[in-house]
Amino acid sequence: MYTKEGGTDQARYALNETLAFDLSDSWNLDSVEPVRSPHTGIYDPVRRPGLWHDPIHNLIYSFGGWGYNWNTSSAAYAFTPTKDGNARWLPRFEAGDGTSFSQFTIPGLSLSAQTDKAFYSLGGMLSLTVFGMAHLKNKPTVEGMAKFDFESENWSNISSTGSSDNGRYGAEGLAIAGEAEYIPIFGEEGVLIFIGGDSPTSRDWKPQTALVPMSTISIFDIRTQKWHKQEATGDVPISRGAFCSVSAGEKDSGTYEIYILGGIRNEDLAEDDYLNLGQIHVLTLPTFKWTTIPSSNAPPRESHNCQIIGGRQMLVTGGSIVTRRRLDAVQKDPWANGLGLFDLTDLKWKNRYDSEGAPYQRSQFVKGYYFSKGTEPETWSSSAVKALFKAPSNSSAPVKNEESSNSTNVGAIVGGVVGGVVAVVIIIAILFFFLRRNKKYQNIPRLPEAPDSQAPSTMGGNSRYESAAGVHHQGAATGGSFTSIASGHMTGISSSVTANMARTPATVPGSTVSNTALSGTTDNRESPTHELEQPNSVPVFEMCAAEPIPSRNLKPVELNGQGCQRAELRA
């Protein structure tokens, strides 16, 4: 659902469908027309799921989120992108199917990111709307970090106890509504950077009451699977949750930048703090210094999504306009179709997406900042962190947003909008709108530690509370592809993933393919609070389907919703 006028009303509407936007052609934000794929009852609408693209099996996944409907399945859904932009979600993994760890379930508001080899999801919380979780007391948090390996297609729970060494998210890895980014050029196999959000001190989460200072940067070394912390300095943004982030690096520069926008604090705001939420801030690496982009002001919003498309263009989708006072009436979105576009090199807001945009290059402002501030922090937190962020020894380290000279770069954005205000959504959005209205959230029970797992051997990609930050991968492609978005309500929080998807060879009849983007949303409803009777209970998989749900080893079959029945996975 979207409007062709100048703005989007902040009322909530059910948008239980996936929207796909063509990225192979240029378009204006106020006139873009998506391809719509209605959900048939197989895909349960959720707010802020973690989305990613598996480049090995060419699948787009949706994992976790806050379920809008009672008895929401704990399954991870997936679909294969097609040249016509249609999306057909089917359950692919669920608790007890042999590919997941004990208590596998769907966390909402986790901090997620992906590399070219795996998807990571730190912390989060559990919704009582998930099947088997209606007895839970409101807002229990999830401990640990889940990992999905693309090659083996297996889930594991990475112990988060290492975060007690230097991480801000606590000995149990409690993290909610922050951002995660994959930085490929540092460390032997890249690092994951975790910023902001909440770090609850107990299993009972109270939104935005334990905000992580934006000066505290948590680092996960993918090769060693160890946690580190580094303090950032400079023009540090105010702490926040429900913001969005993207990351980019210029080839051979030895530096990387993380851009953030928006967020919420769940309190009445001073004028300066309110303006701070509407500015674009940059964390420069390896300097670990913050700076603010001049003239980047936009209407402050929260629960939106950011994603790099077309080389250097940051697309902002969904979300809800933030008001200075919590009880103020929700404002009309001034952005047409709920979309914003910021050029990370020109440092200007634009109304037109350029399908032939140039690769990312650091702006003159950012270059000048490195020149004046140097390429190291004021103080390294440890010798281990200093060694981890030493300058790359060669230029072969992958840069997520550079264009390949011998291949056609195909961007895919996957997203689902949750919360219900935005008209067109290209990335999954989960609104924190309900937080301002004192809506109740849930968190996930502790994830048991998995046996020793092996870290991936090589790395080379990119990826937001999920996160889930967007991920951009380089790879050979011979045609086009689509970017898709699963939708429900379009007011709120969003998550996204970008990836190269192989195109159909031009020699094949009818093989015309294009790029597209996906997004989704759902209804925002108050849920009752229940006492926590079984803190370690595991959600049971239940779907509305006429046939048993296929396992990951079976070919997808058409499922028509004909009443709810317990679905059994067939071997």
Q: What is the predicted pLDDT for the residue at 215?
A: 97
Helix/strand/coil percentages in the chain, nearest 5: 5, 30, 65
Rounded CA-CA distance 142/376 in Å is: 34
* Regions of the chain where pLDDT drops below 50: 1-8, 14, 162-167, 395-397, 402-571
Q: What is the predicted pLDDT for the residue at 480?
A: 38
Q: What is the predicted pLDDT for the residue at 327?
A: 81
**Cα torsion through 428, 72, 527, 467, rounded to 10:** -30
Q: Which CATH architecture best describes the domain 167-392?
A: 6 Propeller (2.120)
Q: What is the predicted pLDDT for the residue at 209?
A: 67
| Tokens (6 digits) for 234 | 């400079």
Q: Kindly tell me the burial class for residue 43, based on how many C-beta atoms sit within 10 Å of its own C-beta (0-12, 13-18, 19 or more).
A: buried
Rounded CA-CA distance 108/267 in Å is: 22
Q: For residue 51, give the DSSP letter.
A: E
**Cα torsion through 290, 293, 296, 298, rounded to 10:** 0
Which residue's entry shows tokens 């063509």? Answer: 22
Q: What is the predicted pLDDT for the residue at 208?
A: 62
> How many other CB atoms sit within 10 Å of the CB of residue 221?
21
Q: Report whether the peptide linkage leading into residue 286 is cis, meaning its omega lies within 30 degrees of zero.
A: yes
Burial 240-272, CB ≥16 within 10 A → b, else e: bbbbbbbbbbbeebbbbbbbbbbbbbbeebeee
* Paired residues of 315 in beta bridges: 307, 341
| Tokens (6 digits) for 497 | 């993933």
* Paired residues of 307 in beta bridges: 315
Structural domain boundaries in the chain = 167-392
